[in-house]
């Protein structure tokens, strides 16, 4: 089955500032695609191009085989939930949801039925007469979602839909949002800067940075097999070690003296053809490291206990390349100020190697 939503080579600049460069993405019918990136990465601009609020400088947008690049927002039949919900405080819940049906020339009974159906989808039946100010932030978010779903759109667009909620409410509302989207089965594009939100809600995640698409894939793929140095550092916790390529699939870290070491068997597909001695950066997750009898010399500068895991910030010796690395280890593994050695955890997630970063 062909993709339902297709972005082909989208470029967008504001003045001399390029915001998106050659963005191409495909979203399957019923899929939730999360656009993840830091502020200024271009993800909100991408959503505005999809919605029709901004025209691309180059490229095209197709929905269900129909090109919609030049169509105004009202003719695209998309639903959108904005970051600030844009609910009207002087209207009750039903009137807010019905606002999304304006211009459809529906009878009063048809409008009431669609409003009731939309509220049932977001698990708010019977809320029609409630005032917006009388319901919680999470319920307001679901009212905004019901308003977007009431016209039965082809595509649902979500712009940072949970950013206004406090942390204690965000996780519960995220689960409720996911249930509603899955229940409808609508093709959805979500914009967020929160990795946990993208991983929870997205079937796949597209990582943007500097207006460029760095990688798109399953959350597990982005975490275990980041395609670029930016993805490796932005997705999850990771530390970088400077080194050079050594013989027998090895990476020499540090000077090679007592504090330096060669780690062998580290997969390096991106630098497989590079010459020995090529400067590289080895990016490794904290849970892939351990304190060991032999390894990189360092000293614990900080210990952070977080319940399920304990993280140790280790300042590496100059002979080990210097800098800091984070190690996940048992709560009693070390104390602040301890001299330690850091090695790879056998059977742990292999580090990733990137060229030319030292």
Could you please report the per-residue DSSP string of 272-284? TTSPTT-EEEEEE
The percentage of the chain sitting over the pLDDT mark of 90, rounded to a whole number, equals: 71
What does pTM read for this prediction?
0.91
Give CA 314 to chain center in angstroms: 28
**Domain ranges across the chain:** 5-233, 237-355
Q: What is the pLDDT of residues 263-286, one digit of tens each?
A: 876 766 566 667 888 888 999 999
**Domain 5-233 superfamily per CATH:** P-loop containing nucleotide triphosphate hydrolases (3.40.50.300)
Q: What is the pLDDT of residues 66-79, one digit of tens each?
A: 999 999 999 999 99
Q: What is the dihedral of CA 164, 167, 173, 179, to 10 degrees?
A: 120
Q: What is the dihedral of CA 253, 316, 281, 260, to 10 degrees?
A: 0
Q: What is the pLDDT of residues 174-210, one digit of tens each?
A: 998 999 999 999 999 999 999 999 999 999 999 999 9
**Worst-scoring range by mean pLDDT, 89-98, 101-110, 154-163, 288-297?**
101-110
pLDDT, mean of residues 73-95: 91
110: Cβ–Cβ under 8 A, 6 or more apart, which residues? none
């Amino acid at each position: 089955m062909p993709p339902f939503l297709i972005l082909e080579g989208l470029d967008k600049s504001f003045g001399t500032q390029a915001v998106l460069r050659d963005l191409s993405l495909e979203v399957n019918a019923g899929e939730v695609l999360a656009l993840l990136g830091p502020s200024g990465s271009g993800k909100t601009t991408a959503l505005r191009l999809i919605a029709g609020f901004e025209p691309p400088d180059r490229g095209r947008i197709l929905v269900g085989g129909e090109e919609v690049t030049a169509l105004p927002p009202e003719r695209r039949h998309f639903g959108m939930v904005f970051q600030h919900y844009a609910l009207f405080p002087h209207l009750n819940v039903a009137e807010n949801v019905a606002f999304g049906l304006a211009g459809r020339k529906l009878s009063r009974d048809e409008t009431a039925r669609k409003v009731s159906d939309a509220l049932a989808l977001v698990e708010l039946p019977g809320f029609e007469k409630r005032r917006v100010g009388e319901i919680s932030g999470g319920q307001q978010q679901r009212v905004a979602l019901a308003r977007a779903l009431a016209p039965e759109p082809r595509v649902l667009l979500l712009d940072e839909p949970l950013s206004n909620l406090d942390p204690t409410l965000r996780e519960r509302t995220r689960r409720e949002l996911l249930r509603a989207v899955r229940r409808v089965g609508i093709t959805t594009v979500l914009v967020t800067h929160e990795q946990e939100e993208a991983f929870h809600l997205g079937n796949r995640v597209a990582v943007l940075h500097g207006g460029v698409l760095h990688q798109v894939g399953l959350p597990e793929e982005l975490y275990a097999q980041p395609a670029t140095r930016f993805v490796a550092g932005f997705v999850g916790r990771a530390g970088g070690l400077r080194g050079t390529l050594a013989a027998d699939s090895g990476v020499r870290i540090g000077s090679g003296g007592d504090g330096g070491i060669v780690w062998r068997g580290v997969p390096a597909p991106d630098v497989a053809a590079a010459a020995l001695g090529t400067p590289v950066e080895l990016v490794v997750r904290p849970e892939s490291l351990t304190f060991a009898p032999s390894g990189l010399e360092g000293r614990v500068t900080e210990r952070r206990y977080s319940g399920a895991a304990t993280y140790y910030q280790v300042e590496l010796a100059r002979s080990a390349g210097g800098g800091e690395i984070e190690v996940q280890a048992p709560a009693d593994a070390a104390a602040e100020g301890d001299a330690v050695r850091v090695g790879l955890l056998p059977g742990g997630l292999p580090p990733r190697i990137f060229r030319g970063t030292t």
